[in-house]
Amino acid sequence: MLGEWPDRTPQPVVIESLTPQVDAGRFPAKRVLGDAVVVEADVFTHGHDLVRASLRWRCAGEAEFAEVPMVRLGNDRWRAHFVPVQLGPFEYSVEGWRDEPGTWLRDLARRASAGPVPAVEWQVGADLLNRAAALATADPLAAQRLAAAATAMSASLTPDDSRLQSWTDEAGWYLGRNQGTASNLLSVSVDPPRARFSTWYEIFPRSLGEAGEGGFAALEKEIPRIAAMGFDVLYLPPIHPVGRSHRKGAGNTAQAAPDDPGSPWAIGSAEGGHKSIDPELGTLADFRHLLTSARGAGLEVALDLAFQCSPDHPYVTAHPQWFRHLPDGAIRHAENPPKTYEDIIPFDFDTVERVALWAELKDICDYWIGQGVRIFRVDNPHTKPFDFWEWLLAALKEATPDLIFLSEAFTRPRVMERLAKVGFTQSYTYFAWRNRPHELRQYLTELTQGPSREYLRPNLWPNTPDILTEYLQMGGRAGFVVRLVLAATLAASYGVYGPPYEAQEGRAAGPGSEEYFESEKYQLRRWPRGQEMADLMALLNRVRREHLALQSDSSLHFHEVDNPELLVYSKTSEEGGDVMLMVVNTDVANPQAGWTDLDLSELGLDEGAKFVVHDLLTQSRYHWQGRRNFVRLEPARLPAHVFLVASSAER
């Protein structure tokens, strides 16, 4: 009731606005190995006493905390950092307490400025040091130093004596902590570096080689070329046996011809299910050999994780209760009206045998992890319960901390964000449909500077087997160049559905459709080699590897320009000293020109400074000065600049 005496121990120090934290600590923030976890908090007390603050952290499950003093930034804001030394979950908290010795020394100096210091004040200081010595039981040497300092405390000292500052600094670390305040434990998930910076290439191995010869062996022959283009993740659609019931045919027709391979996402047949390999691709030994060959070339193979079945999957016979049934007893197939997928049936995650289903799905992951897979692209995770993903991903990462999971969820923003919170390492985004400069600016600012930056890592894809946007359909060569440059430089992670992108394939299944004409999802496609786009991919990926500024998202900053068809943005890296400045003409039909209004402070330049911008795509150099500089980009030539910025003294 109001007015009753509080039934808790008073906490004179307040800790507020602690960052990073996600949903008040319900979910972990995310970092990669080697990143500093920078922690800030408001720490203050009533009255005029000084306070101290410390940052404490540990690997989750460890008994002891490491600790470091926090630094006062001003206006009661404090900061410190720690660097995790291993993968997995870490815990941290902030502790604050009143700084009696520091307050005493401050007030001593004030008293001295007004006249002689009363002798009793020196006894007060000695008492503080003795009390601190008695509390320093964990560090006998500190206790000895503090006791000796108390003995040496006398009126013969002056308030500005450096020894006083040293003594009170050390005493303040011990004194008053038993009456301090500690924040709740917060967590951070530490992932491998590829979680932040990765370059994905998607390919259907069954379409490679001569007719009937596609598979892992043919894909191995492609590895040197894909690696030479600078990709480091080789993503494969599902590699499992494909069902025959209701198999889709060429052109996504409802009736398949005898030789049509069907959709790889219709998983399961008499040859096996999710723990089996389509015999048309090869054997398990062939797959393991592929993993080894890819790693030898600097590529990690990403496997598609699609928790769904064809009507022919062995699970359907063995566990019919794992699926939803219609009143007539038939199993309900997948659909996303008006689209229907008669060749696919979803699991029923609300089944009464949920425990057995979830355990089996985890066992699928454990099986492929056991074969050496460390990256999974997860198909349609938003159609499965959040609780399932939180349980599954935590269990898998506890045993194998270097796993990476890419969420393929083109759905509502809050749903995409929740999937990232519960454990997905990276996320597809709406990038494919953000084409105008103002759309890109608004969306990428939200992703990289908004609250989701602590837990959602965007992976930008200009195309996928399901997505051929109108911009690519209508934009021709310039459209493919624009979207590739944007994806590669706006985000630290991006991917392409590779062969059709190299071929600049813009033909859609029909008006208003984003399906490819003769989609590779339902038939084999022999894509022509597109050397121009392959060369541009190789160049962009080399620039990304050589410049640290392009390997993270936190520094993305948009600059003003007086032409609404132009997009101007920069990225910087304190560690590598990189300053990258990109200018892109999003109008694929017309040359566009304009005057920039650069935020020079973001580029590390003084107002009016002279500097050189070196276009890493063409090797051209331009001498610029100050905020306003002229740019003109022609889509028929190259609709983008990727500049390395250097001051005149550095050129």
Which tokens is 103 given?
Answer: 């307050």
C-alpha 295/C-alpha 299 separation (Å) is: 5
Rounded to an integer, the average pLDDT of 365-375 is 98
CATH number at residue 53: 2.60.40.10
pLDDT digits (tens, 9 = 90+) for 570-588: 999 977 689 999 999 999 9
Query: What average pLDDT does the chain have?
Result: 94
- Confirm whether 202 is domain-assigned: no
Length of the chain: 651
pLDDT digits (tens, 9 = 90+) for 288-298: 999 999 999 99
Q: How many CB atoms lie within 10 A of CB 77?
A: 15
Q: What is the mean pLDDT of residues 120-148?
A: 94
Tokens standing for 173? 């670390």
Least confident interval from 1-10, 18-27, 207-216, 551-560: 1-10
φ, ψ of residue 572 in degrees (nearest 5):
-135, 160
197 belongs to a structural domain: no
Is 518 within 8 Å of 249 (Cβ atoms)?
no
Q: Is 62 exposed, middle or buried (0-12, 13-18, 19+ CB in 10 A)?
A: exposed
State the pLDDT at residue 339.
74
Whether the predicted pLDDT of 187 surpasses 70: yes
Question: In the listed set 164, 190, 216, which residue is the last one of a domain according to the structure?
Answer: 190
Banded model confidence at residue 147, pLDDT cuts 50, 70, 90: very high
Q: Which amino acid is at 121?
A: E
Q: Is the pLDDT of residue 648 over 60?
A: no
The domain boundary, picked from 152, 169, 190, lies at 190
Count other Cβ atoms within 10 Å, centred on residue 539. Answer: 17
Domain boundary, last residue among 190, 212, 245: 190
Mean pLDDT of 400-429: 98
Mean pLDDT value across residues 162-169: 93
Residue 143 has a CB neighbour count (10 Å cut-off) of: 17
- CA dist 488 and 506 (Å) reads 20
What's the maximum distance between 2 C-alpha atoms anywhere in the chain? 103
Residue 4 has pLDDT above 80, yes or no: no
Is position 405 within any domain?
Answer: no
In one-letter notation, the amino acid at residue 104 is: W
Please report whether residue 388 resides in a domain. Answer: no
For 327-357, b/e burial (b = at least 16 CB within 10 A) is eeeebebbeeeeeebbbbbbbbbebeeeeeb
379 carries an active-site annotation: yes
Q: Rounded mean pLDDT of 197-226?
A: 92
In a domain, 361, yes or no: no
Q: Provide, rounded to the nearest whole percent, the portion of the chain with pLDDT above 90.
A: 87
| Alpha-carbon span 375 to 292, nearest angstrom | 14
Task: Confirm whether 638 is domain-assigned.
Answer: yes
Tell whether pTM > 0.85. yes
Catalytic residue among 379, 502, 578, 587: 379
- Which of 49, 202, 360, 408 is the catalytic position? 408
- Catalytic site residue 260? no
Q: Identify the CA nearest to 485 among candidates 571, 380, 586.
A: 586
In terms of C-beta density within 10 A (0-12 exposed, 13-18 middle, 19 or more buried), how is residue 41 classed? Answer: buried
DSSP string over 343-358: T-EEB-TT-TTHHHHH
pLDDT in the model for residue 650: 53
Number of domains the chain is built from: 2
Q: How far apart are CA 297 and CA 227, in angstroms?
A: 6
For 189, half-sphere exposure in the C-beta direction (CA atoms, 13 angstrom radius) is: 29
CA torsion sign for 499, 501, 502, 506 is positive
Q: 146: domain range? A: 13-190
Cis? peptide before 237, omega within 30° of 0:
no
Residue 547 lies in a domain: no
CA dihedral 530, 535, 537, 542 (to 10 degrees): 160
Does residue 451 lie within any of the structural domains?
Answer: no
CATH value at residue 565: 2.60.40.1180
**pLDDT (average), residues 14-24:** 96
HSE value, Cβ hemisphere, 13 Å, CA-based, for 472: 30
Q: What is the pLDDT, as a whole number, of residue 264?
A: 97
